[in-house]
């Protein structure tokens, strides 16, 4: 019999922050279960520690070279320049946990997992309820009877550029309240065997309010975190096991390294440029998806919308004449695409900066999609330095304003589970642990190297079956 599992994501949470929250008297239930028969471990993020590849590895059990997601942007090198667009469900090349369990007719509820737009693309086995993530042009649920939850996710979706303390805490508290309530209502109605929900709010707060990491504004967050704690308590009473996980941690930084300034000093054109969002294209796509809810014209409207969204949404070309090294986005600039023919020159230049570790993609990733990976991966030798996404007057700079950003060490908690030697886990260890707890086989091509089972676990060729189904869908 399949065991029921709840996975709760706390985006950006690290152990030092969580312990401070406990010390302030917040989240007492979570503190209680971490002291019982539970596995508590540090979860090492992807390289670099970026939201989208980390959550996708957590949800698949494989490294980015197998699932194809490296950042918020999908970048390819054309004849004239770098072609970039925002990542969607179409760009994920490996089945995620709800699709894995769906092959065994196991029901799942997925909420706010990054890169789940459009939601109907994630429900190949018709056993999932999926509510798309905050990055979507329109947050929607599939099947459409669960749109009420999608509406609650839209509530107070605050831009980091406008919300400041203390307002952000009040808005996030109201948003979490609505999401938690709506999710519990769906759990009662749908009764899934697997739930995976990601709370993005901790990450948003830590980006906007660095003082939170010092413990200065903990009192402003108490209501928000206690609502999450009550949600965990309710969920824990419903499911056999509860798993809590974060995609990366957070830290305060006082010193920064501007790789863009360094490369420009070497005569190399470098820039951090994200994909644009053409409003006309986005609006057309949204309208077509809405029209597609009506049965008579659904096939035609959805087909046109998918084609537009997949091929054109957020696409941008950055000419090689302007930029020779592209750091896509500004979340955490630890990866770069290089103009063809310049890779060796750029790597040699970066290696002169002894504060950096520099890798080629194939030294870190493996799998069929390494060819789509960034050419270069970068991390500081000492994580007291922050990689900066903008040009500065000095390559090494003192950061005068309080600044917080990602750190590679996140959290992992699994109730009623013990694992010797599992104090440091990788993102791709999560799926094998969850499937093992559920009593289902693990992926035959997982990158997890855990040796926590007394005998070799049962394996299943999930990706082979999933790719076959996807190819059949394209022919229909």
Averaged pLDDT, 111-133: 86
pLDDT of residue 306: 55
The model's pLDDT over 358-386, given as tens digits with 9 standing for 90+, comes to 999 999 999 999 999 999 999 999 999 99
Instruction: Tell me how far apart the alpha carbons of residues 448 and 135 are, in angstroms, rounded to a whole number.
Output: 28
Asked if CATH classification 2.60.34 holds for the domain at 254-277+310-403, the reply, yes or no, is: no
The model's pLDDT over 54-95, given as tens digits with 9 standing for 90+, comes to 999 999 999 999 999 999 999 999 999 999 988 999 999 999
Query: pLDDT band at residue 389, thresholds of 50, 70 and 90?
Result: confident
Instruction: Tell me how far apart the alpha carbons of residues 141 and 381 are, in angstroms, rounded to a whole number.
Output: 43
Q: Which CATH superfamily is domain 5-252+404-475 in?
A: Alkaline Phosphatase, subunit A (3.40.720.10)
β-pairing verdict for 396-407 and 376-380: unpaired
Instruction: For residue 249, list its beta bridge partners.
Output: 407
Averaged pLDDT, 96-110: 96
Number of other residues whose CB lies within 10 A of the CB of residue 346: 22
On whether the CB atoms of residues 130 and 136 are closer than 8 A, the answer is: no
pLDDT of residue 455: 63
Q: Where are the domains of the chain?
A: 5-252+404-475, 254-277+310-403, 278-309
The per-residue b/e assignment along 194-232, b for 16 or more CB within 10 angstroms, e otherwise, is bbbbbbbbbbbbbbbbbebbeeebbebbbbbbbbbbbbb
The model's pLDDT over 276-291, given as tens digits with 9 standing for 90+, comes to 344 444 455 555 555 5
Q: Could you give the 3-state DSSP secondary structure of residue 212?
A: helix
β-pairing verdict for 376-380 and 356-360: antiparallel
The answer to whether domain 5-252+404-475 and domain 254-277+310-403 are alike in fold is no
Res. 179: pLDDT tops 70: yes
Nearest to 441 by CA among 418, 458, 422, 466: 458
Cα distances from 30 to residues 130, 160, 227, 430, in angstroms, run 26, 27, 12, 19
Alpha helices in 333-425 (DSSP H): 343-351, 361-364
Res. 304: pLDDT tops 50: yes
Nearest to 190 by CA among 282, 134, 127: 127
Nearest to 60 by CA among 369, 463, 377, 359: 463
């Amino acid at each position: 019999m399949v065991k029921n599992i709840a996975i709760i994501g706390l985006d950006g949470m690290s152990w030092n922050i969580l312990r401070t929250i406990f010390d302030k008297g917040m989240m007492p239930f979570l503190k209680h279960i971490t002291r019982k028969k539970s596995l508590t471990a540090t979860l090492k993020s992807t390289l670099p520690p970026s939201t989208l590849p980390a959550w996708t590895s957590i949800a698949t059990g494989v490294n980015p070279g197998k699932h194809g997601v490296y950042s918020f942007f999908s970048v390819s090198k054309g004849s004239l320049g770098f072609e970039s667009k925002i990542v969607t469900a179409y760009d994920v090349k490996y089945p995620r946990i709800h699709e894995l369990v769906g092959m065994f007719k196991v029901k799942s509820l997925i909420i706010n997992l990054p890169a789940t737009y459009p939601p109907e693309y994630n429900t190949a086995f018709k056993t999932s309820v999926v509510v798309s993530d905050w990055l979507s042009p329109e947050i929607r649920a599939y099947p459409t009877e669960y749109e009420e939850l999608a509406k609650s996710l839209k509530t107070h979706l605050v831009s980091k550029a406008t919300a400041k303390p203390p307002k952000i805490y009040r808005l996030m508290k109201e948003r979490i309240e609505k999401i938690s309530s709506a999710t519990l209502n769906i759990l009662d109605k749908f009764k899934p065997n697997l739930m995976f929900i990601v709370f993005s709010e901790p990450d948003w707060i830590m980006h906007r309010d660095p003082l939170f990491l010092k413990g200065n504004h903990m009192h402003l967050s108490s209501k928000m975190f206690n609502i999450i704690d009550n949600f965990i308590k309710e969920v824990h009473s419903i499911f056999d096991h509860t798993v809590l996980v974060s995609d990366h941690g957070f830290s305060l930084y006082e010193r920064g390294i501007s790789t863009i300034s360094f490369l420009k000093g070497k005569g190399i054109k470098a820039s951090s440029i994200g994909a644009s969002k053409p409003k006309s294209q986005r609006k057309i796509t949204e309208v077509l998806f809405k029209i597609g809810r009506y049965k008579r014209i659904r096939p035609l409207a959805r087909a046109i919308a998918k084609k537009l969204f997949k091929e054109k949404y957020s696409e941008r070309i950055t000419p090689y004449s302007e930029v020779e090294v592209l750091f896509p986005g500004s979340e955490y600039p630890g990866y770069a695409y290089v103009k063809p023919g310049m890779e060796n020159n750029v790597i040699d230049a970066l290696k002169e900066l002894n504060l950096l570790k520099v890798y080629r993609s194939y030294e870190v990733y493996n799998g069929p999609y390494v060819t789509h990976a960034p050419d270069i991966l970068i991390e500081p030798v000492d994580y007291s330095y922050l990689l900066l996404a903008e040009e500065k007057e000095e390559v090494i700079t003192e950061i005068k304003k309080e600044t917080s950003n990602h750190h590679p060490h996140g959290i992992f908690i699994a109730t009623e589970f013990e694992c010797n030697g599992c104090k440091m886990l990788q993102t791709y260890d999560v799926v094998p642990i969850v499937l093992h707890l559920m009593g289902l086989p693990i992926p035959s091509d997982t990158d997890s190297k855990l040796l926590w089972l007394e005998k070799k676990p049962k394996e299943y060729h999930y990706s082979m079956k999933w790719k076959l189904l996807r190819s059949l869908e394209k022919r229909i």
